[in-house]
Structure 1
């Protein structure tokens, strides 16, 4: 990775000289490496863009410092089959995003590979297109990225891309506040308020804010579904039949197959430092003119997929159940089944790894997942009828065109999570405990993907950590969960890696919620600047008033929108 090369939206930056964000400027004519704004947002996720839009609308100068070249995070990198939960609690800029998606698909030219009336209109718990509310929850990756770029262009938001925080010495603090951040390219960004909108929580960690990686023991917050979950089998991502884990079936001395941990999974309910599995959300198509055959990746090793062969041999036949339809005969293809696109065990080191090590981990995920596709497309060990159907699919030629039609963003389902004075737990998400000072709402089930694959005492393989607990009704997310402890930092907000237990984060970690919390974080930042107060000392009544004015939903709706 070349950190010194930056893709900078100079045309946007220069346009600020004639708009209300003209405060964004170099501090002196002689020092071109110091740039100032009221609010500095670190990250290129959907939360980052929502934060930037809101800050601009509230009259504050803002800069987005993005490690990513492509904006929108997972929302524009394959996760088009939106995890909506109850769509009635999605308001503000988040809802505006989905309304813009709807407007795009009202255009005849948007339907290149199929007719609009041929699209099934199936969403995740809701119709894909809601004509009454003019929202659309299912979309192609490039459409989402276009909407994100439209937000940037229309609001004249300066975005500095391929800019990586100097995690060792790049955060300058004074009297409990961040004064500036510096990137590896040498640019210093000076601001009054800072927002960490990354999936990894790099800024909060570099600023000395408390955080946690992995699962807390159930005893920490009095939870049921947080720690090690051996014997708890939710969803369909576990081995339903006895599958032998050894290279020579029945012979432990032969060693275990790849992708199975030799370690004991741990005591049920205990905490660990492991995080749930990551994968790429692939955009596939079965349209012959837009289909690219699955390529053989460098480093391909067919032996990695012997466990999958044994799953097929057991009679499993659910391969295509998560080829979720998005427009134009494409899919958002997610993990499904006991052996699938989730690279179980491959994510543990990622949250705190160096940038170089993270790239290695990302590449390992890509090699595994591309190899899985190639194996299913070509191996004689795959059932013939499965393989024949599988080969009607391929990568979408018109998506991720400069990246070999492969998603830009690895699905980092969780990394660091801030530990503040207020921690969201399963008690809040399941409605057992009231929430103070809400700044947004969530409604998705408590959802964790598998965390480890191990050999049970009976000698068969099993997955562990996949949890799916329904949330009966929408719940509030506290302002206290997106701000650090006051003694640690007074001008930082964290809408993505917020203060939450592992299992509560399993519900909160959805793209609509990240946009909601990003907007609320920017609102709080603007008010903290105006009141000259620490983010922990804001007048919540005033914050709430502005959030409601801007169409955020803070209480359970009496009926759906």
Structure 2
């Protein structure tokens, strides 16, 4: 058994993890950054090139430094590009770690967490290595370290009654760009939707929970694929496991649109705009049938074990690859969509060790720590003041679709079944402060852990905080606090927040407007 130690151990080389590691190292700590995969940067380098910023006035600290680094790489002004090409994002982060003297270990799968008397003693890796430190940072999207340490957490949607939140819980079925049109039958053997029977693929069986109830629903995951129109693009391929029957829902959707005289564009489904340098695009999920997987498999992911998570990851990856083939080739897809998709392909210089598809699943939400302060929609919409603010947010409440299921609609002379997408929600918020107490557990739960990703928040509040720039800024704060706690021997809850705020301001973090 190998035994390793450091002043600060950061779990997860997401953008939050990289920023936490760099901030702690620049503050004088010896830092070990552990990444279970083979790449770093999380979604910032894993397909989410077009980064949602919100109000740029709140973006400072290491998040601001990253934006400047992107501008310098391309020789343009800050903000010219909302994000870099994936390989460039990873290169910037690698440069940062090397300059700061952070040791990065990839392929470091987590085997377990040793905790006693309200403290983490060590992380056990799957290869038998034990890693100890005075202070740990859980910067993973899933919150595996906090869960392993016994820190309480929540997963999925709560009821409206829990925090008195208007936007919590199961949502009403609303019209909109992300909604299915009426009268698409969910039944495999009956396109009319009249006779109950086996369901089509890509549906969650249901039934729908009551509106406003806490059903544990998790917003959809997917892959944000990077595409290009360059002459050397790699054409979409028909995967060996591709199944025609799996895409019957898409055929019925396009048939319904045709009967309603709706002519969808490929960009209405995937957002095919050259929004990245080099003529590339970060394909997004913009319509009712997209890269998002809405069969409810995301609901299972946060608490699943490693083997099941890998199955779910491949399920999402195959969905992305097969959707691109379906839209580009299936005769049921409108000719205009197929023609547009023919202009696009996978970039040969991105994701070269993963078949040119991203290495990072877009885990929009995993576990959420239950800390001393639980942020809710009231804190974001009401711009509550906090004495211990360490970063700011500004992006709207952004809950993506949670499920695709079906329901009976009362019609004459008998009910008709129709497919529905449920859960999408977008509500503007003003710039708001994020307190230090939202990234640390309660003292009695764990005294030496900081959590800049799976923060203490309701699902509604988390839907705004979950942006990569906020993760970078919260990682910055967590790294500085971790270095301070390690050097002083004090708990993370006893860190001098006033001194922490002063250092954050000195390093460009925006704490108020």
Report the TM-score, using the length of structure 2 for normalisation.
0.94
- Rounded Cα–Cα distance in structure 2 between residues aligned with 1:368 and 1:392: 21
**What does residue 286 of structure 2 align with?**
336
Question: RMSD of the TM alignment (CA)?
Answer: 1.5
- Rounded Cα–Cα distance in structure 2 between residues aligned with 1:522 and 1:138: 23
**What does residue 420 of structure 2 align with?**
462
Distance 1:261 1:529, change over 3 A: closer
The farther-off stretch of 181-190 and 203-212 is 181-190
Summarize the alignment of residues 454-493 of structure 1 with structure 2, pairs less than 5 Å apart. 454-458=405-409, 459-471=417-429, 473-493=430-450
Which residue of the other structure, out of 48, 51, 62, is the alignment partner of 2:31? Answer: 62
Deviations 1:252-297 (A, max 9, x none): 23433211223111001100222111010000111122x1111112
Residue aligned with 2:302, SS: helix
Are 2:51 and 1:82 aligned? Answer: yes
* Preserved contact between residue 204 and residue 403 of structure 2 (Cα < 8 Å): yes
**What does residue 388 of structure 1 align with?**
339
* Preserved contact between residue 34 and residue 189 of structure 1 (Cα < 8 Å): yes
**What does residue 241 of structure 2 align with?**
299
* Preserved contact between residue 383 and residue 433 of structure 2 (Cα < 8 Å): no
Which residue of the other structure, out of 450, 459, 471, is the alignment partner of 1:502? Answer: 459
Using the TM superposition, give the Cα deviation of residue 299 of structure 1 relative to its aligned residue in structure 2, in angstroms. 1.8
Summarize the alignment of residues 312-327 of structure 1 with structure 2, pairs less than 5 Å apart. 312-313=254-255, 314=257, 315-321=262-268, 322-325=271-274, 326-327=276-277
Summarize the alignment of residues 17-416 of structure 1 with structure 2, pairs less than 5 Å apart. 33-106=2-75, 131=77, 133=78, 136-166=81-111, 170-233=112-175, 236-247=177-188, 248-250=190-192, 251-289=194-232, 291-313=233-255, 314=257, 315-321=262-268, 322-325=271-274, 326-344=276-294, 345-416=296-367
Deviations 1:387-445 (A, max 9, x none): 11111111111110111100000000001010111011111111253334111011101
Which residue of the other structure, out of 409, 419, 422, is the alignment partner of 2:370? Answer: 419
Unpaired stretches in structure 2, ≥5 consecutive residues: 410-416
The farther-off stretch of 220-229 and 537-546 is 537-546
- Rounded Cα–Cα distance in structure 1 between residues aligned with 2:17 and 2:292: 26
* Preserved contact between residue 319 and residue 337 of structure 1 (Cα < 8 Å): no
Using the TM superposition, give the Cα deviation of residue 348 of structure 1 relative to its aligned residue in structure 2, in angstroms. 1.5
* Preserved contact between residue 72 and residue 148 of structure 1 (Cα < 8 Å): yes
Residue aligned with 1:389, SS: helix
**What does residue 540 of structure 1 align with?**
497
Q: Which runs of 4+ in 1 moved over 6 A?
A: none
Using the TM superposition, give the Cα deviation of residue 241 of structure 1 relative to its aligned residue in structure 2, in angstroms. 4.0
* Preserved contact between residue 38 and residue 62 of structure 1 (Cα < 8 Å): yes
Deviations 1:469-525 (A, max 9, x none): 111x21011111100011110000000001011111110001110010001001111
- Rounded Cα–Cα distance in structure 2 between residues aligned with 1:255 and 1:197: 41
* Preserved contact between residue 178 and residue 492 of structure 1 (Cα < 8 Å): yes
Unpaired stretches in structure 1, ≥5 consecutive residues: 1-31, 107-128, 557-561
Are 2:487 and 1:518 aligned? Answer: no
**What does residue 110 of structure 1 align with?**
none
**What does residue 393 of structure 2 align with?**
442
Using the TM superposition, give the Cα deviation of residue 240 of structure 1 relative to its aligned residue in structure 2, in angstroms. 3.7
- Rounded Cα–Cα distance in structure 1 between residues aligned with 2:186 and 2:172: 17
- Structure number with higher relative contact order (C-alpha < 8 Å, ≥ 6 residues apart): 2
Deviations 1:528-556 (A, max 9, x none): 23333211122221121111111111112
Using the TM superposition, give the Cα deviation of residue 50 of structure 1 relative to its aligned residue in structure 2, in angstroms. 0.3
- Rounded Cα–Cα distance in structure 2 between residues aligned with 1:510 and 1:213: 18
- Rounded Cα–Cα distance in structure 2 between residues aligned with 1:253 and 1:86: 48
* Preserved contact between residue 223 and residue 291 of structure 2 (Cα < 8 Å): yes
* Preserved contact between residue 40 and residue 63 of structure 1 (Cα < 8 Å): yes
Deviations 1:314-342 (A, max 9, x none): 12514314123211111100112111110
Using the TM superposition, give the Cα deviation of residue 304 of structure 1 relative to its aligned residue in structure 2, in angstroms. 1.6
* Preserved contact between residue 47 and residue 514 of structure 1 (Cα < 8 Å): yes
Distance 1:243 1:436, change over 3 A: farther
Distance 1:508 1:181, change over 3 A: same
Using the TM superposition, give the Cα deviation of residue 174 of structure 1 relative to its aligned residue in structure 2, in angstroms. 3.4
Residue aligned with 1:422, SS: coil
- Rounded Cα–Cα distance in structure 1 between residues aligned with 2:94 and 2:394: 28
* Preserved contact between residue 19 and residue 62 of structure 2 (Cα < 8 Å): yes
